[in-house]
Structure 1
Amino acid sequence: MSNRAAIRYAKAVLEHASESNLENVIFGDMQSVYKTIQGSKELRNVLKSPVVKAEDKKAALVKIFENNSEVTKGLIEVLTANKRIDLLGNVAESFIDLYNEAKGVKVANVTTAVELTPELEELVLSKVKELTGSNQVTIQNKVDKDIIGGFILRVGDLQYDSSIANQFENIKREFSKSI
């Protein structure tokens, strides 16, 4: 989850991107940054490590994101200078959230035990559009094997938990009440 400092950096980047008419480019960069950091436990560990020098972290990030815009590289520079480079993933996540909010896009977070197939993703997308009344909906799929099966759908403040793990927990609670 994003913290307040990450949100402030994300707002500054979004404002700069808006002034430069680069919102869509930076949005793509932030999606790339977020997915890369989320997809690599090693990278997250390096960014949080007090042993790895800040300049080494910066050099690695600049190399990893060398095809990204100068604004994104500038963000890496600023975070390094402010000794906050470990926030890069959170800044990217906050930027994505702020951008979607500004564009009126509803984001549906779907947690499943396995990756969604394109057909199932389309089905979930149409259901979320129906529930929210919005035609601008995107899906973020998170795989969590601990839910065993089923899914957890979250759109804004609404959550629907149809996971097998949740159903087991409900049965366990009912069992405990009757004993």
Structure 2
Amino acid sequence: MSSPAIANRYAFALFQVAKEQKLLDQLEDELRVVREVFNQNKDFNTLLSSPKLSKDKKKQLFQNVFSKANPFLQNTFKLLVDRGREGLIAQIADHFIGLADSEKGIAEATVTSTRPLTEEETKALSVAFAKKLNKKDLRIENKVDSNLLGGIKLRIGNRIYDGSLKGKLERLERQLLR
């Protein structure tokens, strides 16, 4: 079985427990922090994958780093260490967050613009595109890229809506070259 499939199974099991215990929002918030820790600390990943570090030491490391995490989450970490799958934690967090967002009718989006968007612009984009996707809301992350020249580029999952000036110029260039 592939790593994404395994990560998805663990995420789904944790998601079911979170729903039953009415801890969905809390575990989602905690897993966002966990994902951030794993994505920003490559040394932490390297340390966890070291064969020199025993399972007990890895469990203790998780206990120390995530001491305020929910017991369900801590037990999941211990289980993953026991099974030698601690390298899947970031993927499990991603899958869990996706499941939680689907449950709440939320989609995650990345908006790339030439300048930071105002709160009103972000809300307007969220309302407009949430309707197109039959979602209640969009959780928007704004990235700034001055190379766009103007406009915005919106990415929701594997869909890209390119309304940037750079994108329009590239499409025009391709048409002219045909």
TM-score range, shorter chain: 0.7 to 0.9
Residues 83 and 40 from structure 1, CA distance in 2 versus in 1: closer, same or farther, beyond 3 angstroms?
A: same
Output the TM-score relative to the length of structure 1. 0.74
Identity over the aligned pairs, expressed in percent? Answer: 22
1:1-179 pair list within 5 angstroms: 3-47=4-48, 49-50=49-50, 53=53, 55=55, 56-103=57-104, 105-112=105-112, 116-134=117-135, 136-141=136-141, 143=143, 148-149=147-148, 150-155=151-156, 158-163=159-164, 166-167=167-168, 169-170=170-171, 173-174=174-175, 177=177
Counterpart CA distance in 1 for 2:43 and 2:142 is: 19
Task: Give the residue type in structure 2 aligned to 1:148.
Answer: N
CA displacement 1:57-104 (0-9 Å, x = unmatched): 44333322211100111111011111110110110110111122223x
Query: How far 1:53 moved relative to its partner?
Result: 2.1
Q: Give the structure with higher Rg (CA).
A: 2
Q: 1:130 Cα shift?
A: 3.7
List gaps (5 residues or longer) in structure 1. Answer: none
- Secondary structure of 1:61's partner? helix
Alignment length (residue pairs): 172
TM-score by length of 2: 0.75
Segments of structure 2 that go 5 or more residues without pairing to the other structure are none
Q: Is the 8 A contact 1:108 1:153 kept in 2?
A: no
